[in-house]
Structure 1
Amino acid sequence: MNYRIKKASLEDLEATAELFNQYRIFYRQESDLARGKAFIRERMLNSESDIFLVFVDGKAVGFVQLYKLFHYTKLQKQWLLSDLFVHPDYRGRGLSVALIDRSKQWCEETGACGLMLETEKTNDIGNQLYPRCGFEYDGAHNYYHWWK
């Protein structure tokens, strides 16, 4: 299958926002295309994340969104692979792996030490995909959240 991956820009906002909305629905969030679009637009305008889109036959069918972090022991930049989504009609064709590979390439291009991610324990697809792509499960740490 032929596909193309490109770094998203404001000209890709509509397609990115639609995929982001579908991604949020996958994680049991209410559909809110307008707020999601505003969120993505703000990330782009403020250079707060880097998004790569995968296109099949000229149509955006998936994306990965990366946020910059810094690793305290390696004393280097790293990327948080925050969001990864491929439209259900295009799954099983290696597009998620291609987006992960592009993210790894982005680490090389930006001098980052690597990628980190978290996913729900119930995400069976992701929990099989990430080890296949060279990610190591970190069972030694607890992750906590504080929400206001």
Structure 2
Amino acid sequence: MNQFNVIQANSTHIELVAPLFNSYRQFYGQTADLIQVRNFLYERLVNEDSVVFIAVTQYNPFECLGFTQLYPSFSSVAMQRTWILNDLFVLSNFRNQGVGIALLNAAKDFAIRTKVKRLTLATAIDNYPAQKLYEKAGYIKDKAFYHYQLDISIPGSNEFHS
């Protein structure tokens, strides 16, 4: 049986998830900035710009093991809402213990409850552990479309673009 629970975070959970979000950003080469991370997460949750699920230990609900963050989007072709699973992070000492798959399942259950067309995500081409996890969770690699991005730099901004 799992030794953790997955719950939907709200603004009262900022202090739990902020250190993990900070580590997640560092994994992607960003400078640590806990104050900016707290502000960013607070704005997302208070403004309902995103949905965050966190895995917390059963015995200590103040210990966060991992998180996932979803952003809303739409499919013009299907004329339906979609969710972008933009972030997934599990502390290294809790990987391969079911935390990642539990977070993905919470996102899937939420997507079903909100009656969306699909969940989408992207991961680095060389992030094989994540790819294995996503495929185990039923995600299918897109072979029909290439994905492109155009980074927009704002002078003086430390904004992170994923």
TM over 0.5: yes
Report the Cα distance in structure 1 between the residues aligned to 2:94 and 2:134, rounded to whole angstroms: 18
Count of aligned positions: 148
Give the equivalent residue in structure 2 for 1:24: 25
Q: Deviations over 1:75-101 (max 9, x none)?
A: 211100000011011111011000000
Q: Match for residue 78 of structure 1?
A: 82
Give how far 1:32 is off: 1.1
Which runs of at least 4 in structure 1 moved beyond 6 Å after TM superposition?
A: none
Residues 22-61 of structure 1 aligned to structure 2 (within 5 Å) = 22-56=23-57, 57-58=59-60, 59-61=63-65
Residue type of the alignment partner of 2:120: M
Structure 2 residue 7 is the aligned partner of structure 1 residue 6? yes
Residue 109 of structure 1: how far off its partner (Å):
1.1
Structure with the higher helix share, 1 or 2: 1
TM-score (norm 1): 0.96
Q: CA deviation at 1:74?
A: 2.0
Q: Deviations over 1:123-148 (max 9, x none)?
A: 11111111111001002211111122
Q: CA-to-partner distance for each residue in 1:35-60, whole Å, 9 max, x for gaps?
A: 11111111011100000000113211
- What is the root-mean-square deviation in Å for CA atoms of aligned residues? 1.0
Match of 1:120 in 2: 124
* Identical counterparts, % of pairs: 32
Unaligned runs of 5+ in 1: none
Question: 5+ residue gaps in structure 2?
Answer: 153-162
Whichever residue aligns with residue 120 of structure 1, its letter is A
* Rounded Cα–Cα distance in structure 2 between residues aligned with 1:93 and 1:74: 36
Distance of 2:120 and 2:78 partners within structure 1: 13
1:96-130, Cα deviation, whole Å (9 max, x unpaired):
00000010000111111220000110111111111
